[in-house]
Amino acid sequence: MTLKVVGLRRFPVKSMLGEEHDRLEFHERGAVGDRLWALRFPDGKLASGKNHARFRRIPGLLEHFAAYDEDGLPVVTAPDGVTLRPGDPRVPERFGEGVELVREGPDGRPEDRPEGQAEVQPEGHKDVSAVSLVGTASLRALGDLLGDADPVDVRRLRKNIVVETDEPWVEESWLGREIVIGGGQGAEPLRLRGIKRVKRCVMVTQAQPGLPVDNRVLKTLTAVRGMCIGIHTDVVTPAGVALGDTVVVR
């Protein structure tokens, strides 16, 4: 079976719904624009679907859709159809006092962060790696473990790249190896390096448009897969990727 790209997604605002694409550009940080923005509390914590040292839970974030406008700024569409942009006074009204929609700064940390915030959130908006990836056979295998007729919906897992595979969990064998994507007709391919399995959290259970709450997903991953599905990767050589591009693992 020839491995190929069958899904490309980026998420302009962390912990919100994002965009599907036929093509995405990748640089050292990952897909251009991916999780570049986030809702930030005055203490530096980021809004999320879970509570954590770095995050504060805001229910319903996965009911908000984020996309970029023609000026490259994020537009958040709320469930009631209201659209929000950076600096909109309705952002704190909806999400909490002092909450702002902020862009990650050039050093990988939020711009205009409050004093002491670096201690709270030193890693920027990305959790672990530049690019996350999963194989379709793993989605089918998880669906089987859940007792469902269909693969688990990849929207729950929020991966950047979906690769068509025929062996469940095969992407875990790519850790420490180079993953070369595209590069036909003389173009430079995207080169990634697998670094670790993706450990999932409560976000995979939460409802979003078209998907109900499903606590089975995390319980099953915890019991059978050490909470993991898919892999984290770092970018070795930046390039663009399109649906249908071939994937070679070296």
Q: How far apart are the C-alpha atoms of 221 and 75, rounded to whole Å? A: 33
Name every residue whose Cβ is closer than 8 Å to that of residue 193 and which is 6 or more positions away in sequence: 176, 177, 178, 179, 233, 234, 236
Please tell me the predicted confidence (pLDDT) of residue 69.
96
- Which residues partner with 159 through β-bridges? none
CA 199 to chain CA centroid, Å, is 13
pLDDT above 90 covers what percent of the chain? 84
> Under a CB-based contact definition with an 8 Å cutoff, are residues 143 and 151 in contact?
yes
Superfamily of domain 4-9+128-249: PK beta-barrel domain-like (2.40.33.20)
What's the chain's average pLDDT? 92
Question: The pTM is what?
Answer: 0.91
pLDDT at 241 over 70: yes
Express each pLDDT in 50-96 by its tens digit.
888 889 999 999 999 999 999 999 999 999 999 999 999 999 999 99
DSSP-derived 3-state class of residue 92: helix
Question: And the tokens for 120?
Answer: 């709270």
Mean pLDDT for 191-216 is 96
- Beta strands 65-68 and 178-181 are unpaired
pLDDT at 106: 62
> Which residues, other chains included, contact 164 with Cβ-Cβ below 8 Å and sequence gap of 6+?
1, 3, 4, 5, 6, 135, 136
Q: Please state the rounded mean pLDDT for residues 173-188.
A: 93
* Chain Cα centroid distance, residue 36: 11
Res 156: pLDDT: 96
Segments making up each domain of the chain, as ranges: 4-9+128-249, 37-120
Q: What is the mean pLDDT of residues 204-227?
A: 96
- State pLDDT tens for residues 132-155: 999 999 999 999 999 999 999 999
pLDDT tens digits, one per residue of 88-131 = 999 999 999 999 999 987 654 545 544 444 343 444 677 779 99
Q: Are 179 and 191 in contact (CB under 8 A)?
A: yes
Measured at the CA of 202, the angle between CA 200 and CA 208, to 5 degrees, comes to: 110
Residue at 10: amino acid letter: R
Q: Which pLDDT belongs to residue 111?
A: 53
Q: Which two tokens stand for residue 27?
A: 């640089």
| Res. 209: pLDDT tops 50 | yes
Return the beta strands (E) in the chain as ranges.
4-10, 19-20, 23-27, 30-31, 37-40, 46-48, 55-57, 65-68, 74-77, 83-84, 100-103, 131-135, 161-164, 178-181, 190-199, 228-237, 239-242, 247-249
